[in-house]
Amino acid sequence: METLNLKALQAIPLFANLSGAQMSCFEAGEIVEIEAGKVLATEGESLESFYLLLAGEMRASRNYSNQAILMGVMKPGMFMGEISLLLDSPNLATVRALKPCRLFRLGKNEFWQMLSTCPTVASQVFRTMATRVKNMEGYSQQREKLASLGTMAAGLAHELNNPATAARRAAANLREVVENLQSFACELHELFPPEQWPHLIDLSESALARVGKSEPLDSVTRSDREEEVGTWLEQHGVADGWKLSSAFVGAGLDAKELAALATKIPAGALPPAFGWLEASLSLNSLLNEIDGSTTRIAELVKAVKSYSYMDQSPMQEVDVHEGIEDTLTMLGHKLKNVTVTRKYDRAIPRILAYGGELNQVWTNLLDNAIYAVKGTGKICVATFLDDDQVVVEIADNGGGIPPDVQSHIFEPFYTTKGVGSGTGLGLVISDRIVGSRHGGEIEFSSEPGDTRFKVRLPIKHAPPSS
């Protein structure tokens, strides 16, 4: 190990104005050498020393969504480790040597002694720490917003895919059904006397009127009825009757009703008559499917506009229920196996608020709850009025927040999701939105199987304009 030279150390700007007596607190320090490519500090782990880079170059990076993002490059004369020591927190970044490096290392006790005996050094250390935390927090906030946007975009893409696929499939089938309907109509025109058409049309309209009104059949009962209808059709000369049976059973028709219709139709006209009837029912079913799918797409687009308060003033009277429901829609892809219970007091008043920012709060809290229940548990969202405050409570039955963690959850960069899985700012940002922007507060309680976050928002409060 290289011998420590205090005079050489005093030539460094950070220590330039120190007296000989003050320099004595560095006698316990040591020189450390690190090869290129080696890691000095790992994100999420503790760092028990203060380091000053004497020679070489080091790279600081932070993991976001399993991607290493460059936070800065350390040059000779720069120091590190002060944030972990002063905040008693894990490293915020991973520091790796880009070139062979020489560093001056000071232990934890000697670091605190340096701060107490060297005011000029302490001042520089505090200023640097404040700047670094502010810069990192600002960058992480942008990442947090992008993460929220990504969550919303992923949810929207997932939710839009199902109705869009259904509408596309129905539209593709619609062409074939219309062609069949026209073909059967032409054939029946040659075989059907005009006075017999009403019988076929009446049965079609009667079946269409029943669609959606009857109780859905279980799979076994439906299968048995389709087999019965298909067998009857083939026994009466309708080829591939099993292809028609699904539409007939879905419309509530059975073999008895088809037999009654058959007595009013010429025997030779049964195949095209039943083909026309099936095509009419299928046409209606496909149109309903397209209508339902496009309605769902329109609802999702409306939810996105409402969630983001697009084309609206950022501060206005809002109904917290609308924001919560829009957020649940955006997170729908994560809630497939989660039981969500709503206990809303619809009588609570609207409040003057930044709706888009509150939706970010609901997104953070609900996303944390989904993570806590591992995507398969129970989440309860409740609203009520308490002492002139609108309260939104989000509870989950996950494993709970460990007691030793609870005092840290509102600290910047603190996350329980593991390195790279979270910015550690979700609750910090939520707390600032609720507190600084809306004059409210977030409180929580947690034990295994029951974690509750309560957001309290005053009814009478004028949020700041910026």
Residue 80 is encoded by which pair of tokens? 């590190």
pLDDT digits (tens, 9 = 90+) for 386-420: 888 999 999 999 988 888 888 778 776 556 555 44
| Distance separating alpha carbons of residues 446 and 409, to the nearest angstrom | 12
Q: Is 371 left (phi over 0), alpha (psi -120 to 50) or beta?
A: alpha
Q: Is the four-CA dihedral 205, 207, 212, 215 of positive or negative sign?
A: positive
Look at the block and give the residue holding tokens 């059967």.
184
Cα 271 to chain centroid distance, Å, stands at 53
Burial class (CB in 10 A: 0-12, 13-18, 19+), 443: exposed
User: For the chain, how many residues are written?
Assistant: 466
What pLDDT, on a 0 to 100 scale, did the predictor assign at position 312?
Answer: 52
For the domain made up of 6-117, the CATH class stated in words is mainly beta
DSSP letter string, 298-324: HHHHHHHHHHHTTTS-SEEEE-HHHHH
Measured distance between the N- and C-terminal CA atoms of the chain, rounded to whole angstroms = 55
All CATH 2.60.120.10 domain ranges in the chain, comma separated: 6-117
All CATH 3.30.565.10 domain ranges in the chain, comma separated: 313-458
Superfamily name with CATH number, domain 313-458? Histidine kinase-like ATPase, C-terminal domain (3.30.565.10)
Q: What is the pTM of this model?
A: 0.49
More confident residue, 145 or 427: 427
What pLDDT, on a 0 to 100 scale, did the predictor assign at position 263?
Answer: 77
In SS3 terms, 155-222 reads as: HHHHHHHHHHHHHHHHHHHHHHHHHHHHHHHHHHHHHCCHHHHHHHHHHHHHHHHHCCCCCCCCHHHH
Does the pLDDT at position 50 exceed 50?
Answer: yes
